[in-house]
Every structure is written in structure tokens, then in C-alpha cells.
Chain A
Amino acid sequence: MKRKSDWSAYVFILPGFCFFCFAIMIPLVMGINIAFTDWNGITDTYTYIGLKNFTDALQDQRIRQPILNTLYFALLGTAGNTMVSLGLALLVNQKLGKIASAAKMIFFIPVCFSAVLTAFLWKFIYRDVFGQLFHIKNLLGNAALVILAIVIMGLWNSCGINMLVYLSGLKNIPGDLYEAARIDGAGAFKSFRYITLPLLMPSFTVCVTISMTSWLKEFATTMCSTGGGPYGSSRTVSLYIYENLYDYSKAGYGQAVSMLFVIFLVVLGNLVSAFFRAREVEA
């Protein structure tokens, strides 16, 4: 019965794969090529300098601060995102009637806002509104707190979507499990620890991986709100790469840093997702 050659599976793949190659693979390969040159980003000519960019990157003193900042962003952002989104989901999941669905909508509305707008809006809030309300100085000008301030903006902008993922995970947990736990005398905390958390693992896999990698790539919100300042205290690796390309005319070097950065991201992303995948259980 089976047809001799069925190419349909490949035909289905093809259009999407072509677009993917055009927008990601080809530029990536072109980028790898640039990483081995001293190209300045403007002229048409460049020379190949071998691995020099990569050895420079490993010895670069100025890259240390952006790396630390990026890790701090990722740690704070991922922890914040997990706690806030899960908290919101648990809150909305309580049987509170109409108000819960209104809340769901309100938590999601900020997701519609672009990074440009989020940054512009929160800059105004930090400077004028908080200044007037609490008489505090602009957090974005405070080197010690600027990352926290940007993370708060980002959380406002992104938690709605992860809340939905957690919420759907919560809805998939069978109610009779809680019933059984209650009969066995487990309190609210115990049933959360031993039923909710393990059964939510698939949601954690998705949310933690995605929010962590997106915080590691943090660019637009920081770029639009502080531009990396004050004194580089919120400069991330992404911003450092961008500055090498556009401000210091060291496109080749910037491209080499970005290659190392991508390898780091892919390895870390896969490790974290494997860590959570291994802890997923069937309900």
C-alpha cells in the first residue's frame, strides 16, 4: 500500500526552513566570517586576523562588568518572573468569580506594550511620579539599584504571559488529588509542596528557560531606559556587543564576543531545560 517515495514531509518543511535560513542561518554564517576579521563596520574591505578577536575577548577587562551585570539581570529577572507569575496564577486560580477573570486581563495588558513604550513610561514614573509620591531619587540614576529598577519594568511587561502558562498548568492538576491530600490531613502548604509544585514542572520548564534566556539577552528595555548607565552599571553583554558594532567601530571584535555569547546561551539554555525536564512527572 505504501507509496514508493513520499516527499510530502520534506515539502511541508521547506517553506518555513527557507525563511529560517534567509533570516537566521545565512546572517549567522556571515557573522561567523566577520568574527575572524578586523572589519570596522563601515568600510568595504577587511583582513582576516585569525583567532585574535577571540583571544582578545577572553582577556578583555572591560567585558567583566557586562558579564556580571548580565548574570545579575538573569538571576533577578528569572527569580522575580517565576515568583510573580506563579503568584499571580495562584491568585487568579482561586475561586473568586468575575473579579479573577478581570484580573487575568489586567495582568496581561502590559504584555501588549512595546519595550520602547515601557521604558519611556517607567522613566517618567521613576523620575516624576515616585519622586513626588515617596520623595526618592530616580532609581535609574542609582548605580546599585538600576538593575533592580529595570527588572521591575521588565516584570511588569512580561509576567502576564508566564502567568497564563502557570495558570494552564494549575488547571491541568486533577482536583481529586487535593481532595485526597486534605482527607489524609495535609495542610495548604504541604499540598502545595507535594502536589502543585511537582505537577507544575512542565510549566516551569517552559517559563524558566524562556524567561532566563530572554533576560540573558536583555537589550531593548535597558537600551531605551538607561543606555547602560550610570557609568556602565546596567550595561549588559548584548549592549556591549552593540556598542562595539556601532560606537567603537570594532564590528569584528563585537561579532567574536557575540559568537562566544551565543554558545554560552545555547549550552546554558539546554542544561536548564534538561534539568527541569528530568523532574517532570505524570499526573
Chain B
Amino acid sequence: MREKRIVNVFQILFLLLVMFVFLFPSYIALLTSWKTRIEVSRSALSFPETFAIQNYIEAIRKSQFLTALKNSCAITFPSVLLIVICSSMGGYSIARHSAKHKIFKYLDRLYVSSLMIPFQILMIPVYRMYKSLRLLNTLQGMVLMLTGVSIAYATFLYVGFVKSIPRELEEAALIDGCGPYKAFFVIVFPMLKPITTTVAALHVMWLWNDFNISLVLMQKESVRPLTVKQYYFFGQYASDYGMAFAAAILTMLPVVIFFMAAQKYLVEGISGGAVKG
């Protein structure tokens, strides 16, 4: 019994050490964001003498934080809504028909293969396409593109989950004369809630952090989301670490808060959907 307790203490100590290692970079970011320029140059590890709140005020003003925040929201949330609707329907259809109809099986394969395509390959054609369609620098264009590139993975997650839920309920409904569309939205969709929350939570996080696509498509200052704003901001104020990190913390705050709230669903859904897929 005592031996077990010693093992336990050792495990907890080790866990604490690993936690410290993982937390350390975030701690440094938080610490630096409160320090003045002179304090940073004197020592990277010292504790701030006075909490330099002006870093945050400057960061909000100089990076036009509120505009960028509004853009990020206007891009992320409509895209996630579209992704959930389109890929839940698509995933359901693929999961139920891929055994009988070859075409659904091939579509599934196509989606999975497309996950390996790096966006850099599509950059130039997408830019050309958007220029001729006059979609460059528009929030709607950005929503279309983000939804499109996310469909494959989201559908993949839905396919895995739908396969694990029994057909009986929907079949009973179909026999009772319920149409296939009503059967999906009234009976199946509510059962997909766990994976829907995961897909939504994951994509809120990923689209919020998207860099490649917005870098290419959002060239005007007024439509840039937070990540791209931050990229240029870091370039411009590279020497002023305090303010740069303040801007970084401000950008991360919404995602981390969101994660804390959605944590449970993320964990459950990743377990349920991704593995069985």
C-alpha cells in the first residue's frame, strides 16, 4: 500500500513538472505584456515592477483591435453555421449510403484525400478566381472560402459519428410516412448534438486562428481579421515586446475563454467522432 502511495506522489510531481513546462510559454507572454520596454530589455524573466497597463491601451489603439475583432466575428460565426448545416447533412448521407452506392463511397474517399492538400497549392488559383469574381476583400468571400476548405474534415467527423448511431429510429419514422428531410432535421439532427458541438467548437477555434487564407484574400486594412492584423503588427512593432504581447494576449483571450466554456464538448466529441471515423 505504501509503495503505491510513493508511486502516486512521484506521478503527481512529474505531472506538475510537465504542466509547468506547458504553461511556461503562456506565462512568459502574460508576464512580458505587463512590462515596459526597458524592463524587457533588462531581463526576460523578471517580474514587472509596475503593471504597465498602457501596453494594452496602446495595443488596442494602434492595432485597431475593435475593428479586427468585429471582422473576426463576422468571418468565423457564419462560416461555422454553414459548416455545421452542410456537413451534418452530407455526413449523414455518406454514412447511410456508402455501403450500397459506390458514388457516396468515392465522395468519402475524395473528402479524406483532400485533407492532405496544403493550402499553398490553392493560393494562386484562389487569388485569381477571387479577383475575377470581385470577392477579394469581402467578408462574404472569406466566409465562402473558409466554409469550403472546412467541409471535408467536418463531414469526415460526422460520417464517423452517424455510423455509430442506430438506424431504427429514422427507419421507423420513414415507415410512419415522415419525409426524409423531416426525418433528418427532426429526428437525426438532434441525435448528432455531441458531434455538432465538437465540430462547431473546433472550427470556431481554427477559423478564428486562420492565417494563410486571410493573408491572401484580405488585403485591405478595414477587413483584416485579428490574426493577419497581428502578423503585420508584430512586424511593425517587433522591438516593443511589451505592447506586442499585450496585443497577442488580447487576441487569445476570446479563444481561451471560449475553450474553457466549450471544453467538455470538445473532449467528448473528439473521443466520439474522430476515433471511430
Chain A residues in contact with chain B, CB under 8 A? 1, 6, 8-13, 15-17, 19-24, 26-28, 30-31, 34, 41, 88, 91-92, 94, 96, 99-100, 102-117, 120-122, 124-125, 128-129, 131-133, 156, 161, 164-165, 167-169, 171-172, 202-203, 206, 210, 213, 217, 219-220, 224, 238, 241-242, 245, 251, 255, 258-259, 261-262, 265-266, 269-270
Asked whether B57 is an interface residue with its Cβ less than 8 Å from the other chain, the reply is: no
B44 contacts A128, CB within 8 Å?
yes
Q: Could you tell me the distance in whole angstroms from the C-beta of A192 to the nearest C-beta in chain B? A: 15
B147 contacts A213, CB within 8 Å?
no
Known: A114-B227, A122-B25, A245-B124. A9 touches B96 (CB 8 A): yes
**How many angstroms between the C-alpha atoms of A19 and B145 in the bound complex?**
8
B19 contacts A96, CB within 8 Å?
no
Known: A91-B14, A100-B15, A258-B121. A22 touches B148 (CB 8 A): yes
B25 contacts A23, CB within 8 Å?
no
Known: A114-B209, A121-B29. A213 touches B15 (CB 8 A): no
Which residues of A lie under 8 Å from residue B44 when comparing CB positions? 124, 128-129, 131-132
5 interchain pairs (CB within 8 A)? Answer: A105-B260, A112-B205, A112-B252, A117-B248, A217-B118
Chain B's interface size range is 35 or more
A116 contacts B231, CB within 8 Å?
yes
Which residues of A lie under 8 Å from residue B15 when comparing CB positions? 91-92, 96, 99-100, 103
Give which listed residue, B147, B179, B184, B205, contacts A23 with CB less than 8 A: B147
Q: Could you tell me the distance in whole angstroms from the C-beta of B273 to the nearest C-beta in chain A? A: 10
Known: A17-B90, A202-B275. A241 touches B121 (CB 8 A): yes
Interface of A is mostly: helix
A19 contacts B144, CB within 8 Å?
yes
0/1 interface trace, chain B 245-277, chain A, CB 8 Å (1 if under): 100100110011001100100110011101111
Q: Could you tell me the distance in whole angstroms from the C-beta of A144 to the nearest C-beta in chain B? A: 23
Asked whether B74 is an interface residue with its Cβ less than 8 Å from the other chain, the reply is: no
The winner among B25, B93, B145 for most chain A CB atoms within 10 A is: B25
Give which listed residue, B107, B151, B212, contacts A220 with CB less than 8 A: B212
Which residues of B lie under 8 Å from residue A114 when comparing CB positions? 209, 211, 227, 230, 251
0/1 interface trace, chain B 97-121, chain A, CB 8 Å (1 if under): 1000100100100010111111011
B12 contacts A99, CB within 8 Å?
yes
Which residues of B lie under 8 Å from residue A99 when comparing CB positions? 12, 15-16
Q: Could you tell me the distance in whole angstroms from the C-beta of B115 to the nearest C-beta in chain A? A: 7
B263 contacts A238, CB within 8 Å?
no
Asked whether B26 is an interface residue with its Cβ less than 8 Å from the other chain, the reply is: yes
A19 contacts B151, CB within 8 Å?
yes
Q: Could you tell me the distance in whole angstroms from the C-beta of A169 to the nearest C-beta in chain B? A: 6
A120 contacts B248, CB within 8 Å?
yes
Known: A103-B19, A107-B22, A156-B25. A129 touches B45 (CB 8 A): yes
Interface of B is mostly: helix
Asked whether B180 is an interface residue with its Cβ less than 8 Å from the other chain, the reply is: yes
A258 contacts B22, CB within 8 Å?
no
**How many angstroms between the C-alpha atoms of A30 and B131 in the bound complex?**
14
B116 contacts A109, CB within 8 Å?
no
Asked whether B222 is an interface residue with its Cβ less than 8 Å from the other chain, the reply is: no
B26 contacts A116, CB within 8 Å?
no
Chain B residues in contact with chain A, CB under 8 A? 8, 11-12, 14-16, 18-19, 22-23, 25-26, 28-29, 32, 40, 43-45, 82, 85-87, 89-90, 92-94, 96-97, 101, 104, 107, 111, 113-118, 120-126, 128-129, 144-145, 147-149, 151-152, 155, 175, 179-181, 184, 205, 209, 211-212, 227, 230-231, 234, 241, 244-245, 248, 251-252, 255-256, 259-260, 263, 266-267, 270-272, 274-277
- The chain A residue with its CB closest to the CB of B123 is A245
A269 contacts B230, CB within 8 Å?
no
A109 contacts B259, CB within 8 Å?
yes
**How many angstroms between the C-alpha atoms of A91 and B11 in the bound complex?**
8
Which residues of A lie under 8 Å from residue B256 when comparing CB positions? 109, 112
Give which listed residue, A9, A20, A111, A245, contacts B97 with CB less than 8 A: A9
**How many angstroms between the C-alpha atoms of A143 and B120 in the bound complex?**
25
- The chain B residue with its CB closest to the CB of A268 is B116
Which residues of B lie under 8 Å from residue A116 when comparing CB positions? 211, 227, 230-231, 234
Give which listed residue, B28, B126, B255, contacts A27 with CB less than 8 A: B126
